[in-house]
Amino acid sequence: MKRNILAITGALALAACVESPDLGTEVAAVKNGGGFDCDVLGCSSNSAWLGPFEFHELDETRQQANLEGLRITSFKKNGLDYEVDVTNASLVARRYWMGIPFTLSGANLVGSTMTVQGHGRTFEILFLAHFLQPLWQEKQLGQSVDAFDLRWYEEATGTARQPVCKNPPQGKDGDPLWTSNMEAIFYTGDRYRRDTLEVIASNPREAGPWFNIACAGNVLAKLAMNRHTHATRGPTVTTWQQRQAMLKMYTSDVCGTGDAFTVSGTPLKWESKWGWESPTYYATPEALWNEEGALCLGTHRLNKTPDDMDSQIATACAAVGRTLEPCSSYVPSTTAYLATHSAAAVDP
């Protein structure tokens, strides 16, 4: 269901290797109800964009380009260049004068500009505003992460400022409201392979110098908000299998093929075996999930909607020889980590 034109440096072993993919192109084959190709992380997903490039990670050392060919070349405020250091879910800009470190973080980063280059183009990312975004699980701890409104432009072409997060959520999918629907968070310690929807690193040693830029409403931001990342871990620490199960669940990678059969804003209720859950109740049972995708499938979240993807799901599962029985006849096992319900109409 997805055509990938990739050249990979070494083997990207699941949750272990951190080699950087060479420059390549991803072409999503999942279609929405209008017959148009969807974003890699789901139809109308609020991914980070610079011009025509959809991306989710950058190298803080400025040495490596990401899969889309983008690389940081500077980080400046008031004409001074700073090093970028992302630790957990905090971005810190640091420079030294006479051996003394000077740092910027949180609201002090507003007005900074990160320069990113790729494909002969130079993009400036302006830190326009700062927010504190509360985490959604273990709320009793009162913990928040830094979030920013980011705008990009190209000085060479006189491009007007455009939002990096260009498809903000509309508060329809049952998740708690974001502090700002234009916000993006930065975090490290986890890496993702978008073409297969897999977690390929789950701690700082494995992740190396790479950090994520996750926009409000995007699955990578939801993983962080729900403490399914190293950066936002709390007293209850999730495993890479549980993080990947949530990645598969949110993107509706039903067959484990790396295809995101979902549309941004689709109503969804989830519960984990630990008792963590999303807040809004929906009655229609959908699926049970683990790190390989759906273990069984009842009524898919898009059933009888304009974006109904049942036929695409059937084709994807058939391509890998996978048959999903209805959840009504599925015998629960310890491998199921998440259960989902939706507002979809049930077939008669």
- pLDDT value of position 348: 83
For the chain, what is the domain count?
A: 1
10 falls within a domain = yes
Q: What H or E segment, with its residue span, contains residue 84? A: strand 83-87
Q: Which CA distances in Å does 150 have to 17, 48, 50, 64, 138? A: 30, 10, 11, 22, 28
191 falls within a domain = yes
Our measurement of the distance from residue 3's CA atom to the centroid of its chain's CA atoms, rounded to an integer in Å, reads 20
Count CB neighbours of 325 within 10 A: 12
Whether residue 56 has pLDDT greater than 90: yes
Please measure the distance between the N-terminal and C-terminal CA atoms of the chain and give it in whole angstroms.
28
Q: Which CA distances in Å does 213 have to 101, 147, 187, 191? A: 25, 10, 7, 11
Give buried/exposed letters for 132-145 (b at 16+ CB in 10 A, else e): ebebbbbeeeeeeb
Q: What is the pLDDT of residues 90-143, one digit of tens each?
A: 999 999 999 999 999 999 999 999 999 999 999 999 999 999 999 999 999 999
347 falls within a domain = no
Q: How far apart are CA 258 and CA 244, in angstroms?
A: 11
Whether residue 1 has pLDDT greater than 60: no
pLDDT band at 16 (very low <50, low <70, confident <90, very high): very low
Whether residue 33 has pLDDT greater than 80: no
300 falls within a domain = yes
Going by C-alpha positions, the residue among 69, 158, 53, 178 that lies closest to residue 117 is: 69
Mean predicted lDDT score pLDDT of the chain: 88
Which tokens belong to 102? 């000077």
175 falls within a domain = yes
Residue with tokens 């803080």: 60
348 falls within a domain = no
Q: What is the pLDDT of residues 196-242, one digit of tens each?
A: 999 999 999 999 999 999 999 999 999 999 999 999 999 999 999 99
**Mean per-residue pLDDT for 296-313?**
95
**Could you say which DSSP state residue 224 is in?**
H
203 falls within a domain = yes
Containing structural domain, residue 96: 2-342
- pLDDT value of position 231: 99
Going by C-alpha positions, the residue among 277, 249, 282 that lies closest to residue 267 is: 282
Q: What is the pLDDT of residues 171-192, one digit of tens each?
A: 666 566 799 999 999 999 999 9
